[in-house]
Structure 1
Amino acid sequence: MNSKQLAAFRAVMLAGSMSDASRMLYVSQPAVSRLIKDLEESLGFTLFDRRNSRLYPTQAAHAFYREVERHFIGMDNLSQAADQIRMMRSGRLRIGAMPALAFSVMPTIVSRFLRSHGDVSAVFAPHLSVELANRVGAQQFDLGVVMLPVESKEIAYGPCYKIDCVCIAPKGHRFADQEKVHASDLHREPFVAIGQQNTVTRFLIDSALRENLARPDERMETLLLSTAASMVKEGLGVSIVDAFTAHTFADENLIVRPFEPSVPLYFGFITPVNRPVSGLAQEFIDSFEAYAAYNFPLTPIEPDEVGVV
């Protein structure tokens, strides 16, 4: 008794005839007949009655089929297990990112990572930081990049960073002649503000303006930094955004200048709590750091530096 004989028997039981079984197995009908005959000789009992050119399974065949089916179910389970092991080796990484990164540099970093890991697939989605923290805590993502601070008992913190925001202005603006833009330069200047939902960054911008007695002409407020950059590009005013967003929009009729006083943006990686960071997730973090360090002045920080406990 061998696997080919068992496969032939199962095919005949499922198809109902030697000819249909041969088509299922992509072998000739005489080959199926020979396999069934050899199996019957090996078992010592008849599997099929042959009447009027048709096959009828015997009672013994039905009993034997139940055992054979268990065998093939086990084989299917082994195949699925092999697929899972293969997926663990090749990997699938679920990444969530705050909009400031998701709509700027992350697509470039993710695509470079996948090109260098040809057997890896990824899920990538933008989410606001608080929502993303909840999703990472619920293990819907393996890795998240959030604006700090966020607090959750269900997440653990990976590397965290600080990067200074910059001033962006439409092409042809007077700021093009300045090496830097100071908060006092924004007094009565048409301005695109970021929303209060960006709590820390908005607070720091407002503090810098207030301390320098600057009152910009706030033309609009928008939640996303990328939307603010789009509005500036359209000539609606100037704005203060993160360096990643400014870098992405820099070639789109925008002027980018350092801003004083410093307005830092804090962000960092998060993972599900009590779950070790996978090797694949760590490789992605390394890829992010290599790209960001080459293109931006990142400063590593500890999460509690921005009130994360």
Structure 2
Amino acid sequence: MNSRQIEIFVAVMKAGTISRAAELLGVTQPGVSRTIADLEASVGFLLFDRVRNRIVPTPEGRLLYDEVQAAFRGMDKIRSAAARIRDHGAGQIRVASLSALGSSLVPRAVRRFRDRRPDTAVTLMVLPSRDVRNGVVSGEFDLGLAADEVDVSGLVHQPFVSPRALCAIPLGHPLAEHSLVTPHDLAGLDFVAYVPEDRARQRLDLAIAEAGAAPPRIVVETIYAATVFALISEGVGVGLVSPYAIAGFDQSRIVLRPFEPAVHSKSVLLLPADRPKSQLVRDFIDCLMAER
């Protein structure tokens, strides 16, 4: 059995006669008859009965035709899927983000992306930066956004955003009377901080040391921007926050003031190094860039 025999068999089934099938295929009638006979010999049963100079499909022939049609429909689905992948990507994109961007910038990018790609499903996970990095390396995520302290070896990476941190102060706190906050203003105050390995925390510690100021009193350390914001809103202490980290939250219970010298909260865009970017990933990156 070969594909040419199947093609001719289908033509005969659709045309109803050997002569009409030969005409449609542009071949001779004896050639069609010979091919059908060869196919019958190959499958081991008759495909057509000859009744009064007419051919009538046998029950076995009809069953085979049904299977062939099902196979053709499967091929059509494969062709359609290939066209969708060519034009739109795989139909799903998996994104991971650090907390500081996961409540504001990234959701806005998802909205923009959904406007462009309404048929594409998006998985968004907000995770610690190390888990974002590991997920991109393992292939669990198509792209990720992480703090700049992560190990970027084995990844394609580029700087993403580097906003200047603001000092967040609980409403009614004495520091809220200041128009500008400096390291000396933080001396001895209850302070909500990121964990010591956080690069923005390290930049703040360096700024305090270089200013010769007494350090604040660290009362809570955490890895999540949303947790820092929530703790400050509850009056636990003051802290430095990225403007991206607080954009999606109610700011009525805090006061924001510039901090001098500048402390930046830097992030990087991470991509797997072992595979090229799909069109979906390119489109999502375009949406991220548009929302920066």
The answer, yes or no, to whether TM exceeds 0.5 is: yes
Kindly provide the amino acid, as one letter, of the partner of residue 243 in structure 1.
P
Report matched runs for 1:7-46 at 5 Å: 44=55
The one of 55, 58, 61 equivalent to 1:47 is 58
Q: CA distance change for structure 1 residues 282 and 90 in 2, over 3 Å: closer, same or farther?
A: closer
Kindly provide the amino acid, as one letter, of the partner of residue 231 in structure 1.
L
d(CA) in 2 for partners of 1:151, 1:214 = 32
Contact residue 195 and residue 223 of structure 2 kept, 8 A = yes
Q: CA distance change for structure 1 residues 150 and 218 in 2, over 3 Å: closer, same or farther?
A: closer
Contact residue 170 and residue 176 of structure 2 kept, 8 A = no
Deviates more, 1:231-240 or 1:252-261: 252-261
Deviation digits for residues 202-242 of structure 1, max 9, x if unmatched? 21122222333222122222221210110000111101122
Q: Which residue of 2 aligns with 1:249?
A: 249
Q: CA distance change for structure 1 residues 249 and 173 in 2, over 3 Å: closer, same or farther?
A: farther
Q: Which residue of 1 aligns with 2:185?
A: 185
Report matched runs for 1:161-176 at 5 Å: 161-176=161-176
Unmatched segments (≥5 aa) in structure 1: 7-38, 49-60, 293-309
The one of 76, 96, 107 equivalent to 1:78 is 76
In the alignment, structure 1 residue 105 sits paired with structure 2 residue 108: no
d(CA) in 1 for partners of 2:195, 2:132 = 18
Contact residue 88 and residue 279 of structure 2 kept, 8 A = no
Contact residue 165 and residue 241 of structure 1 kept, 8 A = yes
Using structure 1 for the length normalisation, give the TM-score. Answer: 0.69
Kindly provide the amino acid, as one letter, of the partner of residue 202 in structure 1.
R
Q: Which residue of 2 aligns with 1:30?
A: none
d(CA) in 2 for partners of 1:179, 1:266 = 25
Report matched runs for 1:56-67 at 5 Å: 61=60, 65-66=63-64
Post-superposition offset of 1:137? 1.9
Q: Which residue of 2 aligns with 1:261?
A: 261
Post-superposition offset of 1:97? 0.9
Kindly provide the amino acid, as one letter, of the partner of residue 201 in structure 1.
A
Kindly provide the amino acid, as one letter, of the partner of residue 236 in structure 1.
V
Q: Which residue of 1 aligns with 2:201?
A: 202
Using structure 2 for the length normalisation, give the TM-score. Answer: 0.73
Report matched runs for 1:123-134 at 5 Å: 123-134=123-134
In the alignment, structure 1 residue 141 sits paired with structure 2 residue 141: yes
Q: CA distance change for structure 1 residues 123 and 151 in 2, over 3 Å: closer, same or farther?
A: same
Q: Which residue of 1 aligns with 2:228?
A: 228
Kindly provide the amino acid, as one letter, of the partner of residue 284 in structure 1.
F
Post-superposition offset of 1:90? 3.3
d(CA) in 2 for partners of 1:262, 1:163 = 10
In the alignment, structure 1 residue 89 sits paired with structure 2 residue 100: no
Deviation digits for residues 166-189 of structure 1, max 9, x if unmatched? 110112223333222111101111
Post-superposition offset of 1:2? 6.0
d(CA) in 1 for partners of 2:249, 2:201 = 20
3-state SS of the aligned residue for 1:162? coil
3-state SS of the aligned residue for 2:247? helix
3-state SS of the aligned residue for 1:265? coil
Q: Which residue of 1 aligns with 2:43?
A: none
d(CA) in 2 for partners of 1:159, 1:78 = 43
3-state SS of the aligned residue for 2:248? helix
d(CA) in 1 for partners of 2:265, 2:205 = 14
Q: What's the Cα RMSD here? A: 3.0
Q: CA distance change for structure 1 residues 65 and 131 in 2, over 3 Å: closer, same or farther?
A: same
3-state SS of the aligned residue for 1:260? coil
Q: Which residue of 1 aligns with 2:273?
A: 273
3-state SS of the aligned residue for 1:164? coil
Q: CA distance change for structure 1 residues 67 and 153 in 2, over 3 Å: closer, same or farther?
A: farther
Between the two proteins, the alignment pairs up a number of residues equal to 247
Q: Which residue of 2 aligns with 1:307?
A: none
Post-superposition offset of 1:88? 4.4
Q: CA distance change for structure 1 residues 46 and 191 in 2, over 3 Å: closer, same or farther?
A: closer
3-state SS of the aligned residue for 2:291? helix
Q: CA distance change for structure 1 residues 291 and 104 in 2, over 3 Å: closer, same or farther?
A: closer
Kindly provide the amino acid, as one letter, of the partner of residue 209 in structure 2.
R
Kindly provide the amino acid, as one letter, of the partner of residue 182 in structure 1.
T
Q: CA distance change for structure 1 residues 192 and 183 in 2, over 3 Å: closer, same or farther?
A: same
d(CA) in 1 for partners of 2:121, 2:75 = 23
Kindly provide the amino acid, as one letter, of the partner of residue 72 in structure 1.
A
